[in-house]
C-alpha cells in the first residue's frame, strides 16, 4: 500500500528534528538540498529565533540558498570557511553501509563538495530510502556531465552496461541545466554490487563532473518514520 503523503512529510520532519540537535552555537554548517532539508532549514530557523543560536550555512544549491534566506539563516562560503563543522543533507537511497545515491534534485556536485569539506555528514530521509543494495527498484545514479562531453559520456556509460537518460526539464523545453551550467544523465545500472568501484570507473570518463554515488561519506543517517526516528551510524 502506498504511504499517505502526510505520513511521509511527518517522517521527514521527524528526521530533520533529530539532525538539527547536532547543530551547536558557533557552528558553520553545510545546508543540503531537497524536500527533507527544507524541514532542517525551518527547524534551524526556529532555533536561531528561540535560542539566539549563532550559526552560518554554506548552501549547496540555489534552492538551499533560498531556504536559508527564508528561514533567517546567515549564509557564508567555502572561501570564507573551508572546513565545516557538519553538513545535513538528504538522500535518494541509503544502503546498509550508509553509502548513498544522491542527486535526484540535481545538486549532487555542490552537495559532494560541501560534504567533503565537513567534519561530519548527517543524512535525513524518510524510511522509504533505505535499501539493501543501491540501484535496486530501478533507482538511477544521477551523473553531472559537461554539455560538450555528453555524447562521449553516453557512449562510455553504454559500454559499461548502464542505461543513461538525459534528464529533461519540466516547465521548460530541453535538458535540465544544473546550478553549474551542466547536464544531468540518470543512469540505470541495476543493483550496484560495488558502489566504490563503479564510482572510481565513472570518474575516469572525461566530461563527468561528478556522480551521485556518495561512498563512505555519511557518518549518521536519521531515518524518519511517522512516529519514530531510527539512527544509523557508519561502522568505522
Ligand atoms: C538533491 C539531493 C536530495 O538531497 C535528494 O534528492 C533527496 O531529496 P528529498 O529529501 O526531496 O527526497 O540529493 O540533489
Of 43, 111, 144, 199, the active-site residue reads 111
Whether 101 and 91 have beta carbons less than 8 Å apart is answered as yes
Q: Please, are residues 131 and 44 in contact by the beta-carbon 8 Å criterion?
A: no
Q: What is the predicted pLDDT for the residue at 3?
A: 81
SS (H, E, C) 94-144: ECCCCCEECCCCCCHHHHHHHHHCECCEEEEEEHHHECCCCCHHHCCEEEE
Regions of the chain with pLDDT less than 70: none
Q: Global pTM?
A: 0.97
pLDDT at 166: 98
Atom number of ligand 1 nearest to Cα 107: 14
pLDDT at position 16 is 98
Span 184-212, pLDDT tens digits: 999 999 999 999 999 999 999 999 999 99
Residue 198, pLDDT score = 98
The confidence score (pLDDT) of residue 235 equals 85
The best mutation among 34, 94, 167, 212 to test binding of ligand 1, ranked by most ligand atoms within 8 Å of the C-beta, falls on 34
* Cα separation, 103 vs 74, whole angstroms: 25
* CB contact at 8 A, 22 and 122: yes
Sorted by where each starts, the structural domains of the chain and their CATH numbers stand as 5-131+216-233 (3.40.50.1360), 136-211 (3.30.70.260)
**Cα 34 to ligand 1 centroid, rounded to whole Å:** 4
DSSP state of 173: S
Q: Ligand 1 centre from 104 Cα, in Å?
A: 6
Mark whether 111 is an active-site residue. Answer: yes
Predicted local distance difference test score (pLDDT) of residue 4: 85
Q: How many CB atoms lie within 10 A of CB 154?
A: 18
Nearest CA to ligand 1 atom 8: 34
* Cα angle 196, 15, 108; round to 5: 40
Neighbour count for residue 12 (Cβ, 10 Å)? 24
pLDDT attached to residue 1: 73
Q: Which residues face 118 on adjacent strands? A: 84
Structure confidence at residue 104 (pLDDT) = 98
Report which protein residue has its CA nearest ligand 1's atom 4: 90
Amino acid at each position: 500500500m502506498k504511504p499517505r503523503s502526510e505520513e511521509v512529510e511527518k517522517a521527514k520532519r521527524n528526521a530533520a528534528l533529530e539532525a538539527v540537535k547536532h547543530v551547536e552555537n558557533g557552528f558553520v554548517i553545510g545546508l543540503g538540498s531537497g524536500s527533507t532539508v527544507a524541514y532542517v532549514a525551518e527547524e534551524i530557523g526556529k532555533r536561531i529565533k528561540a535560542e539566539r543560536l549563532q550559526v552560518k550555512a554554506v548552501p549547496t544549491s540555489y534552492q538551499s540558498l533560498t531556504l536559508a534566506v527564508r528561514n533567517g539563516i546567515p549564509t557564508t562560503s567555502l572561501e570564507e570557511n573551508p572546513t565545516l563543522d557538519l553538513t545535513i543533507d538528504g538522500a535518494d537511497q541509503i544502503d546498509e553501509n550508509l553509502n548513498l545515491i544522491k542527486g535526484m534534485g540535481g545538486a549532487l556536485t555542490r552537495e559532494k563538495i560541501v560534504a567533503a569539506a565537513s567534519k561530519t555528514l548527517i543524512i535525513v530521509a524518510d524510511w522509504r530510502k533505505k535499501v539493501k543494495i543501491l540501484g535496486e527498484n530501478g533507482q538511477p545514479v544521477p551523473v553531472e556531465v559537461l554539455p560538450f562531453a555528453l555524447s562521449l559520456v553516453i557512449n562510455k556509460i553504454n559500454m559499461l552496461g548502464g542505461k543513461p537518460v538525459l534528464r529533461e526539464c519540466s516547465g521548460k523545453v530541453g535538458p535540465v541545466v544544473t546550478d553549474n551550467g551542466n547536464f544531468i544523465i540518470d543512469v540505470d545500472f541495476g543493483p550496484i554490487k560495488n558502489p566504490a568501484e563503479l564510482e572510481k570507473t565513472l570518474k575516469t570518463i572525461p566530461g563527468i563532473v561528478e556522480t551521485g554515488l556518495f561512498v563512505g561519506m555519511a557518518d549518521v543517517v536519521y531515518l524518519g518514520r511517522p512516529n519514530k526516528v531510527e539512527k544509523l551510524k557508519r561502522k568505522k
